[in-house]
Structure 1
Amino acid sequence: MISTLNPFHYFMQKLLFILLISFSLQAQNQKNTFTAEEIKRDMAFLKNRFEKIHPGMYYYISKDAYNQMYDSLYNTINQPINYLEAFKILSKLVTNVKDGHTNIRFNKKRFDKKSTKHVPFYLRKINNKYYLALNYSRDSTIIRGSEVLQINDEPIEHLMTQLKDFVSSDNGNITTKDYYTTGVFPNYYLKLYGELDSIKITYRLPKTDVIYIKKVACLTTAEINKTSVKRYKSLTRPNLALKIIDSVNHIAKLDITEFSMTGKFLDVSNQKFKRVLKARFIDIKKHKIEHLIVDFRGNGGGYIPNITRFLKYFSPKPFTLVDSLAFKKKAYFTLFKPQWIGPPLVMWAGFMKRKGEFLYHVNTKNDKQKPEKELLYQGKTYFITDPGCYSATTFTLNLAKDMGIPEKIIGQQVGGATWGSFAVNWQDFKLPNTKFIIHTPLMKINHRLPNQINKDFFLQPDYEVNRNLDELLKNNTSVTDFTVEMIRQSKAARLR
């Protein structure tokens, strides 16, 4: 006798089978332990992929030094390891490329952005001690400026040393590692210890010798943002905000916190940034500003054409942004997908020069970008910088200095290299076993620096002004105060 399933039962059977497969695949993606062989295969896959497409592989670290580090890690893996330990090992292969645009992150399915809980503290390093810069916990008695001694009974110095292993920076820039491990402390703590329900903080209130220990709940990003609006709204710096600081001496400050600003309707070319920037320079002209402070602190970059839009208000003569672009031959079809048909067929013509494993495009003219005529700023300009200045921002700062635009640069060393960076286009690829996501630049971009004024590897300020404890306690900005006072004294000296 032959039995048959009716259509409904057949459908339910297939649906159950699909669900079981789906749950099985999800469980595979959520693996908590990996064999030594799985980790080693991911290591080899990552290294081979970097060597094939990464334009900066072995640029900041020699092949011999990288291979020695790789072999040392490879030979220590002889037993199964957990998810976070696997992340720590593979992070070393990424950060030791020593490029700030190259990074590793968890698979999206591992820690959901909305529901994941984070440590509710941001820190700041001052004179080799660590202080509470922002407290987003529900306990408001843990005040800004408190010295942090331990997190979950771990000495803060030991903890921060471990977190720095997760930070990619150009040529291993230490100031950049300090900047991000403190300024984005919750993100890096998550990478080291995973998600926690609560943490214990050991700290000392300012101007006391009494040590306090508090246990606080970890919070979601939405909960942290809600507290931020209520508790620290006055500390925010809106992008492209213009403030008249001293109307008598005609001093104003323009904040550029990122080189991106888009409108609501598919504003892929950042027309909003262009419109708002123009409006600011109309106000600058209207108020007859003689001394313009441009605050770039914390600006990690953005849309490269906005560099031109900014610099044209300062440069009295035509200029060009880029000296050359290059990418590896083996990365050609990663950049220009075969299925696109058109670009893969024609882009060879734009990169006709060959040098070793690279294809190049070199600009031959230095006058492609025209200056603004009606709104050209002719007063004195001062730039404020810190290690958070990177990518398009570093690009802007180095070009501007080379063109003689800023009167002075005040603050701290920037995070990006003087010559250029590995950027422009990227690929995100997934490791086969751990499923970690690797963010990889595909092009090398050299800035147009015809005068080569910038001799240092990282742009250095004319006046180094570091953030201090008094600034934390009083909610003021020491570097802005320093710059304004410098301008006032300069004006007074000219009048004498």
Structure 2
Amino acid sequence: MKYKFLLLIVSLLSNFSFGQNSSTKLSNQAVKDDFDYLYQSLQATHYNLFAFQNREKYDELFLQLKSNLTTDSLDLLETISLYQRLVSFANTGHCEIDYPAKPYIEYAYSGGTVFPLELAFENEKVYIRRNFSTNKQIPIGDELLTIDKVPIDEIRKQLYPFVSAERDYFKNAKIEFWSFPRLFFQLNGRKDNWQIQVKNKNNEIINTEVSSISVMDYETNRNGEIVNPKKALKFYGDVAYLNAGQFGSNEANGEKLFKNFIDSTFTVIKEHNAKNLIIDLRNNPGGHNAYSDYLISYFANKPFKWYSEFSVKTSKILKEHTTLQADTTDEYSRNILRNPDGQIFKYDFPPHNPVEKSKRFNGKVYILVNRQTYSMAAVSAALIQDYKFGKIVGEETGDVPTLYASQFSYTLPKSGIIVKVPKSYIVRVNGNKKLEGVKPDIYIQDHLLDEKDEILNGLIIRLEETTNR
């Protein structure tokens, strides 16, 4: 159906509070009240809001944005865009307000249109990864230089305040993740024609025009989100390929179902006498370590942890969030509840043990990653690399394995907008605190994030060459 991918957006952005009708204007005072609460609550809940930003500059931005609130009212799209500017200034990937899904969907149903080109950001260049326009003179893979005579690099920087991330490389990945046409609409509103300049593969500069596409057609044609790992098990000769999917589930028994899947999968791998195992963590949003640890236990050769240091900052809002859990009797939750608000405390989880030797995979392990490998998926890749459980293949992850994470959310009282914040600080297993992603042992670029699988195919070719030597 034409609308199925709009429903997918709603599903993916289910953390957004739909209590506030986006077509209803929020009063100037309500927006200011929530803006005050937002900044105060960010400081209270974020493990270290000023880790990457000077506090004086943050205060300055807050006052500047608030002073610009001169209209009588704002709609939900304007309000979210304003609040994102404050939140993203922290330059913390796990401190964010999601894309304004409800206003976007209402815009779609009212006949809204968007820019027709999806883009890929690679090596300081911007490539056309999909062309949904009627102008078929623009091949996939051409480099986009300008839109309406504005350099694409300048437009990209105009989008950064809507995107929370530690560094530009990660921000670019998140623009791909949320999609350039959606963010470009959020920045500029509706427009139906653009003059663009592209450079083709022969280094020729071409000036041309593209017309908009309806949001409905855009969401249908793009065929789902970039970050959408799907469970799969395949065999290429003596090579087993496994995509275990996301490390989390909304189902009540999701963890049990995941573990059952891993148990049965490794039974099949063992029956096939696979000598090499490829685990795909590309386009993976991460999740909970209970999932990733269980997967890793099937090829780990010693007890392991997913961090070298782990600490948490408690707060009144976090305590309220924690008490809503079904069970607060575990030691971790009790530490959150009994420490005073604002207190940072270290916590050490017990190491995870490998499965018994008879079940364990003993061949060579390769982990696929790309710039769309996030959160616990990136942390897991770092763990595997640091313990030498396997080799990392692909390109540097957008997310970083030493990070402010363990994200939780709370709602702004007047607008119903949901804010996500990191309550913990995680240091990767090897103790490296540099602001960098997981770097592959074998580098293969994921060009255009398209159906051509350079990383997997490139690795299989290498393994076949090794076998034939």
Superposition TM-score, scaled by structure 1 size: 0.74
Q: Is the 8 A contact 1:123 1:185 kept in 2?
A: yes
Aligned residue in 2 for 1:399: 383
CA shift digits 1:281-331 (9 cap, x unpaired): 233223322222223222121243211221111112333446645232333
* 1:26 to partner: Cα distance: 6.0
Residue 466 (structure 1) aligned with residue 442 (structure 2): no
Counting only pairs closer than 5 Å after superposition, residues 31-180 of structure 1 correspond to structure 2 as: 41-74=33-66, 77=68, 79-80=70-71, 87-105=80-98, 110-112=103-105, 115=109, 117-137=113-133, 142-169=138-165, 172-180=166-174
Matched AA of 1:90: Y
Matched AA of 1:119: F
Partners of 1:40 and 1:353 in 2: CA distance:
33
CA shift digits 1:352-375 (9 cap, x unpaired): 885882253622643x44425443
Counterparts in 2 of 1:300 and 1:386: CA distance versus 1, 3 Å:
same
Aligned residue in 1 for 2:361: 377
The residue matched to 2:204 in structure 1 has which SS? coil
The residue matched to 2:412 in structure 1 has which SS? strand
* 1:453 to partner: Cα distance: 6.0
How many residues align? The count is: 442
Matched AA of 1:218: I
The residue matched to 1:99 in structure 2 has which SS? coil
Matched AA of 2:231: L
Q: Is the 8 A contact 2:297 2:354 kept in 1?
A: yes
> What percent of counterpart residues are identical?
20
Counting only pairs closer than 5 Å after superposition, residues 332-411 of structure 1 correspond to structure 2 as: 332-337=318-323, 343=328, 349-351=334-336, 357-358=342-343, 360=345, 362-363=347-348, 365-366=350-351, 368-406=352-390, 408-411=391-394
Residue 294 (structure 1) aligned with residue 279 (structure 2): yes
Partners of 2:149 and 2:239 in 1: CA distance:
48
Matched AA of 1:328: T
Matched AA of 1:258: Q
The residue matched to 1:112 in structure 2 has which SS? helix
* 1:158 to partner: Cα distance: 1.9
Counterparts in 2 of 1:39 and 1:251: CA distance versus 1, 3 Å:
same
Unaligned runs of 5+ in 2: 1-19
Partners of 1:445 and 1:283 in 2: CA distance:
38
* 1:162 to partner: Cα distance: 0.9
Q: Is the 8 A contact 1:318 1:371 kept in 2?
A: no
* 1:133 to partner: Cα distance: 0.6
Larger-Rg structure: 1
The residue matched to 1:67 in structure 2 has which SS? helix
Aligned residue in 1 for 2:265: 280
Unaligned runs of 5+ in 1: 1-24
Counterparts in 2 of 1:58 and 1:342: CA distance versus 1, 3 Å:
same
Counterparts in 2 of 1:133 and 1:101: CA distance versus 1, 3 Å:
same
* 1:140 to partner: Cα distance: 5.5
Counterparts in 2 of 1:203 and 1:342: CA distance versus 1, 3 Å:
closer
Q: Is the 8 A contact 1:106 1:437 kept in 2?
A: no
Matched AA of 2:85: K
Counterparts in 2 of 1:346 and 1:290: CA distance versus 1, 3 Å:
closer
Counterparts in 2 of 1:155 and 1:324: CA distance versus 1, 3 Å:
closer
* 1:386 to partner: Cα distance: 2.1
Aligned residue in 2 for 1:227: 221
Q: Is the 8 A contact 2:299 2:354 kept in 1?
A: no
* 1:156 to partner: Cα distance: 1.9
Matched AA of 1:112: I
The residue matched to 1:162 in structure 2 has which SS? helix
* 1:270 to partner: Cα distance: 3.7
Matched AA of 1:426: S
The residue matched to 1:123 in structure 2 has which SS? strand
Aligned residue in 1 for 2:460: 484
Counterparts in 2 of 1:369 and 1:443: CA distance versus 1, 3 Å:
farther
Residue 416 (structure 1) aligned with residue 399 (structure 2): yes
